[in-house]
Chain A
């Protein structure tokens, strides 16, 4: 039984839209060629594969279903809860909650406690963790060998799975030879090997250890970091849907119709962009908070609330970020308006709207494409900063910004609790780096100036 939130619907809608767009692009040579260029570059392919990986995790996390957990006794539990497919796949991570902090791969807790041993003697020691390393009898001696064995078997599984995929792909291709396959395909295969290896190792280790430690309430940090992927993607992607229609419509109109339309739109974007972005977002989020506090009946569950706030954040980010693209499109349209083919279309009596749609819009699409990919990474980074000032996503939802925010104060502890911070930064870095590298390749391929 599906039970989706608003952002889930939007994400799925967007993915379907993108697939439709891909099929639409395939028939158009002037768009297909730059994309071919993108997928012939090694960096482009690798970063695209990484991005797809993140997207896949995000989609799994967006497919929410009513789920009846199975108790340890084997019976189904009484209450059903709404979980995402990802939650169910990560059940071992989700349910093994320790008491409080523990370091990565630790088998004992972070702080000493008074523990009574079998004889009833009380001792001031580091207590064993409830789940991590619980399968070992003498963790001090066995742990490193056990971890090594698990890593090796994970690599083996990953490698075998990859080999299976590899041979399938080769069999499916025309002449069954690796040498004949395109450069892009080869790169995809090799980057998949790396990912399968990482996934294999994680799948072997994660059920037995907290690979990235646990946080203050004992929740697995790896689980939190994976869950945060969806938030990052939602912010990067939905903001774009909000921004694009405004930017494209207003930019084209301002460039094409001079006079009062142009003046009005220019006034609009000067006004909006003159307000410091953070302040505008803060103001809007503050207002939303007051509104939500006054109308609690509209938001039934915590998840609903968090989702609404996420959606609102995307909306506001979209409203504040359309000005840059709009300015670009206006300038480009001004140039295109004077082109011979537009004048010719006007001369034979094509209506102005049709000229805009058929002659101007396709010729500014490269700008749109470049901006979309470039903005994505900026938005993911912005989320962390906004959550730090408490004007980002809801504190109850998983996000890298919230992870950083909540673990920031733990830096003062001795020994320091570094793993939450490092995990959030590594995940964020890999997503943003992939997006930035991809954006770079896309820009090179689409930007007519950089032909060299």
Chain B
């Protein structure tokens, strides 16, 4: 087990290096730092001195991959690639293009993101499972087919619609919750309700269908037939057997996205003006702050891989047949 985890953690390294090279190519090779400087400084007719100054402040005045002017290993180390990438591996994200410390920003903005993401996940899973169980319970009736159609219809509505309609009807017309904004502390509750609710509703269609297929697969198994044959009621079968055994895929499905919760939801956060990591990323994209975008890419892929690893480990906990070695 320990060996397996260590091996998997070692496997994370090449993936992260790959991610790094990819983003590096995207950001620095396609466009030279000069282009970026001109874009940041706004004007096309910026003087070369200003560009050089901008580059030097941010450490972009080095060669990209190979420094001819240095000796020995320094040739590799005194380059943009090395300087900008190595820091990422020890989670030193450096300074953003507008001069703020990225790590401090992230650790501060993480909390609002989690405040939205965790309740959304919990209530989302509960709502999806309930809906899926209802679909299974009324199998073969008109209730099921109309429920399935409802799922598809819910899936077909753009996520933006849920947000805009929710803000308009709940926030503006009924004035039950603030339309957008955030305050730290317990008072945040008022601001969280609506985004969480919208997150749950917008995921209901696809989520319920996904859980339904899990339950259906489980319900087709022999032990379910046995349980029914010995006279258990449909409800008892559903809760005691089907739900219990479907817990394995449900749990592992949740574990895989747990780490990524830190990243927040891009769209919901920026619509509701929540100062989390999602809106941080969106702001960085729209202000074209490459340092932040790179840091977030790195963080996102790191968390994704950790999620995969946690999934494998969680299998051993919920399913005694699985052994990792």
A contact residues vs B (CB 8 Å cutoff): 267, 270-276, 278-280, 282-284, 286-287, 290-291, 293-294, 377, 381, 384-385, 388-391, 400, 404, 408, 411, 416, 421, 425, 428-429, 432-433, 435-437, 440
From known contacts A283-B297, A287-B30, infer whether A432 and B160 are also in contact, taking CB-CB under 8 Å. no
1/0 contact trace for B2-18 toward A, CB 8 Å?
00000000000011001
Q: Which residues of A contact B153 (CB under 8 A)?
A: 433
The answer to the question of B48 belonging to the interface, with a C-beta cut-off of 8 Å to chain A, is no
Beta-carbon contacts under 8 Å, B287-307 to A: 288, 290, 293, 296-297, 300-302, 304-305
Q: Known contacts A274-B305, A436-B152; is A267 also within 8 Å of B31 by CB?
A: no
B300's nearest neighbour on chain A, judged by CB, is A276
Selected A-B contacts with CB under 8 Å, 17 pairs: A273-B304, A274-B300, A275-B22, A276-B301, A283-B293, A284-B26, A287-B30, A290-B30, A290-B35, A290-B36, A377-B156, A389-B285, A389-B286, A421-B164, A433-B153, A436-B152, A437-B152
Instruction: For B300, give its contact among A271, A272, A279, A411 (CB under 8 Å).
Output: A279
For B127-169 the 0/1 string (1 means CB < 8 A from A) is 0000000000000000000000000110111111100100110
**What is the 8 Å Cβ interface bit string for chain B, positions 275-286, against chain A (1 contact, 0 not)?**
000000110011
Q: How far is the CA of A428 from the CA of B161 in the complex (A)?
A: 10
Is B26 touching A436 in the complex (CB atoms < 8 A)? no
Question: Which residues of chain B from 18 to 49 have any CB-CB distance to chain A below 8 Å in the complex?
Answer: 18-19, 22-23, 26-27, 30-31, 35-36, 39, 44
> B34's closest neighbor in chain A, by CB?
A294
Question: For the complex, is B88 an interface residue (Cβ under 8 Å from A)?
Answer: no
Residue of A274, A283, A286, A381 contacting most chain B CB atoms (<10 Å): A274
Inter-chain pairs besides A275-B297, A280-B26, 19 sampled, C-beta below 8 Å: A270-B308, A271-B19, A272-B22, A274-B15, A275-B22, A279-B285, A279-B300, A282-B293, A283-B297, A287-B30, A290-B30, A290-B36, A377-B156, A389-B267, A391-B285, A400-B158, A428-B158, A429-B156, A436-B152
Asked if B263 lies at the interface with its beta carbon under 8 angstroms from chain A, I say yes
Complex Cα spacing A212 to B135, Å: 38
- B-to-A contact residues, CB < 8 Å: 14-15, 18-19, 22-23, 26-27, 30-31, 35-36, 39, 44, 152-153, 155-161, 164, 167-168, 172, 263, 266-267, 270, 281-282, 285-286, 288, 290, 293, 296-297, 300-302, 304-305, 308
Docked Cα-Cα span, A429 to B288, in Å, equals 32
Bound form: Cα–Cα A253–B83 in Å: 37
Which residues of A sit under 8 angstroms from B282, Cβ to Cβ? 389
Across the interface, do A274 and B304 meet the contact criterion of CB distance under 8 Å? Answer: yes
A404→B155 contact, CB < 8 A: no
Nearest A residue (CB) for B297: A279
Residue of B nearest to A275 (CB): B301
Whether the Cβ atoms of A286 and B19 lie closer than 8 Å is: no
Q: In the bound complex, how far is the Cα of B156 from the Cα of A435, in angstroms?
A: 9
Task: State the CA gap A276–B284 with chains docked (Å).
Answer: 15
B39, B172, B281, B285 pick with most chain A CB within 10 angstroms: B285
Closest residue of chain B to A284 (Cβ to Cβ) is: B26
Which of A284, A388, A404, A437 has most B Cβ within 10 Å? Answer: A388
Q: How many whole Å from A159's CB to the nearest CB in chain B? A: 28
Identity of the chain B residue whose Cβ is nearest the Cβ of A276 in the assembled complex: B300
Q: With A381-B158, A429-B157 as given contacts, are A291 and B31 in contact (CB-CB < 8 Å)?
A: yes
Q: Which of B15, B153, B161, B305 is most buried by chain A, counting CB atoms within 10 A of its CB?
A: B161
B27: which A residues are within 8 A, CB to CB?
A: 283, 287
The 3 nearest A-B residue pairs measured at CB: A274-B301, A271-B18, A433-B156
Contacts of B19 in A (CB 8 A): 271, 274-275
Question: Which residues in A have their C-beta under 8 angstroms from that of B297?
Answer: 275-276, 279-280, 283
Looking at the assembled complex, report how far the CB atom of B19 sits from the nearest CB atom of chain A, in whole angstroms.
Answer: 6
With a cutoff of 8 Å between Cβ atoms, the chain A residues found around residue B167 in the complex are: 411
Contact A388 B267 (CB under 8 A): yes
Contact status A384-B160, CB under 8 Å? yes
The distance in angstroms between the C-alpha atoms of A224 and B282, with both chains bound, is 27
B267–A385 CB distance below 8 A: yes
Cβ 8 A contact of A404, one of B18, B152, B160? B160
Cα A286 to Cα B301 in complex, Å, equals 20
Give complex CA distance A421, B158 in Å.
Answer: 11
The closest CB in chain B to the CB of A430 belongs to: B156
Which of A273, A280, A381, A437 touches B159 (beta carbons < 8 Å)?
A381
Tell me the complex Cα distance, A172–B301, Å. Answer: 59
B313, chain A: closest CB distance, angstroms = 17
Q: Which residue of B lies closest to A271 (CB)?
A: B18
Q: In the complex, what residues of B have CB within 8 A of residue A273's CB? A: 304
Chain B residues whose C-beta falls within 8 Å of the C-beta of A384 in the assembled complex: 158, 160
Closest to B298 in A: A275
Bound together, the chains give a CA A44 to CA B263 distance in angstroms of: 39
